[in-house]
Amino acid sequence: MKKRKIAIMGLGTVGGGAYDILTRNRDYILKTQGLDIEVKYILDRDVTPLEKRGIPVSLWCASADALAADPEVELVIETMGGVEPAKTFISKMLSAGKSVVTANKELLAKSWHELEPIAKAHGCGLYFEASCVGGVPVIRALGESFQGDKVQAIYGIINGTTNYILSKMSRDGCDYATALSDAQRLGYAEANPSSDVDGYDAAYKLSILASLAFHTCVPYGSIYREGISGVSARDIENAHELGYEIKLLAIGKRDGNNIEARVHPAFVARDHALSSVSGAFNAVYLQGDYVGNLMFYGAGAGAAPTGSAIVSDVVKALGGSPKYCDFDNNGKLDKNINLVGDFVSGYYIDISVEDKPGVLSRISTVLGENNVSIKAATQAPGDDGTANVVFLTHRAGEKSVMRSLESIGKLASVINVQSVIRVL
């Protein structure tokens, strides 16, 4: 049987995981899939990563041009991360007619529309199951399992770092800084955690997932993004008292030509399936017009889960023909699509006020004047003659709520609006 020769660009955690699966399960893949896959090259800066993993240094390749020029290599795995030089290298491989399997969500969110035409022009494929939610096969499901359904909504916990931080705050009652420090100590968060905690990573992934689910380009730059650094231990405590957990959610909805795409912390009711997703685990909750509600759950990162998704794409690419987008993936929002900015949600609002009679009534009046209806309200004494007023609203428009808060912030007895978190 002919050996199917491939290469790996970047032997970090994920690239190493893919290599391990391809080598250790080589006979199993041959037996079950009829493919004898051999890693011929590993592209990296030097041989050190290979030596550390006990991989023969004879596999090392120093030049992307040399890799692209080798006619024996049919497919290349990219696990370098970042935009450059990954984008340039992937372009070289696709231009040489080699399919590419990548886990690079940032690059896809920003340059998918540039890379796929190259693949299509040269008869090869661009595969990216591993770019979103680690080993959970949600991209394959969106592309191959919903042909008869219109996906109406996506609700995703798709960043393991933020889910770990919020889970620790919920479990231990600690503040954000303490939970972040613990996540960094355990390797869940980078020294500079901005990509995760400020919501960029989740927004990259939502751009990919929403585009596939809604069959139209949902550009990364069009997604509303808010991180978790403003979530306090008090917010977590209030959420528990009201029957909720706080999660960083990636939300996508489509109703006709109206699309919502947003990433932000949210109150999730404890009887919702997503509320129990804890630690570094991920989940994607989908609503189809006929299939109903489905949830995909599993490890969202790591060498083994992400490596498994990569190998799945390798097998798919070598065993069949490439499939391309079924929509105009030009990196722009379609002119017929209305991106909803004034979306509707419930809201949790925590306001610090002077502890005086009538304050609650004045705040309630402002909310009512802006068509924001109160579902629940509590008041607790604070320090030095202050109090904290907490509101849970019925569903209301985003602009109405923000307009209310602007007016409330100007009331004489209001010290500040401490927290605003949307409710799923």
DSSP readout, 395-412? SEEHHHHHHHHHHHTTST
Residue 361 lies in a domain: yes
- Closest C-alpha among 208, 133, 154 to residue 424: 154
What's the pLDDT score for residue 221? Answer: 93
Same domain, 258 and 153: yes
Domain final residue, candidates 299, 332, 361: 299
What does the pLDDT read at residue 180?
95
For residue 393, the Cα-to-chain-centroid distance in whole angstroms is 27
Full domain range(s) for residue 369: 344-423
Q: 131, 158, 177: which is the final residue of a domain?
A: 131
Whether 396 is covered by a domain: the verdict is: yes
Is there a single domain that holds both residue 107 and residue 15? yes
3-class DSSP string for 245-309: EEEEEEEEEEECCEEEEEEEEEEEECCCHHHHCCCCEEEEEEEECCCEEEEEEEECCCHHHHHHH
- Are residues 282 and 164 both part of a single domain? yes
Question: Would you say residue 259 lies in a domain?
Answer: yes
Phi first, then psi: what are they for 190, rounded to 5°? Answer: -75, 165
Tokens of 182: 């613990």
For the chain (424 residues), the mean pLDDT of every run of 10, in chain order, is 93 93 96 96 94 94 94 96 95 98 96 97 96 92 89 96 96 96 90 95 97 96 96 96 97 96 97 94 95 92 90 95 92 94 96 89 93 91 85 96 94 92 96
Question: Contact, 43 vs 88, CB < 8 A?
Answer: no
In this structure, the answer to whether residues 378 and 416 fall within a common structural domain is yes
Burial label for 191, CB within 10 Å (0-12, 13-18, 19+), is exposed
- Note whether 145 and 116 are same-domain residues: no
291 and 143 within one domain: yes
- Type of residue found at 94: L
Contact 391, 349 (CB under 8 A): yes
Residue 121, exposed/middle/buried by CB under 10 A (0-12, 13-18, 19+)? exposed
Q: Are residues 254 and 176 in the same domain?
A: yes
In a domain, 280, yes or no: yes
Number of structural domains in the chain: 3
Instruction: Give the tokens for residue 396.
Output: 């209301």
Give the chain's radius of gyration (CA, Å). 24
CATH of the domain at 242: 3.30.360.10
Nearest to 127 by CA among 71, 119, 158, 155: 119
Do residues 377 and 390 touch, judged by C-beta distance below 8 A? yes
Which CATH number do you get for residue 382? 3.30.70.260
**Residue ending a domain, choose from 272, 299, 326:** 299
What SS3 class is residue 353? Answer: strand
- The rounded Cα 417 to chain-centroid distance in angstroms is 29
Tens of pLDDT, residues 210-234: 999 999 999 999 999 999 999 999 9
Classify 47 as helix, strand or coil: coil
Instruction: Tell whether 250 and 275 lie within a shared domain.
Output: yes
Taking only the tens place, the pLDDT of each residue in 62-84 is: 999 999 999 999 999 999 999 99
Q: Say whether 2 is catalytic.
A: no
Which one is catalytic: 92, 98, 105, 205?
205
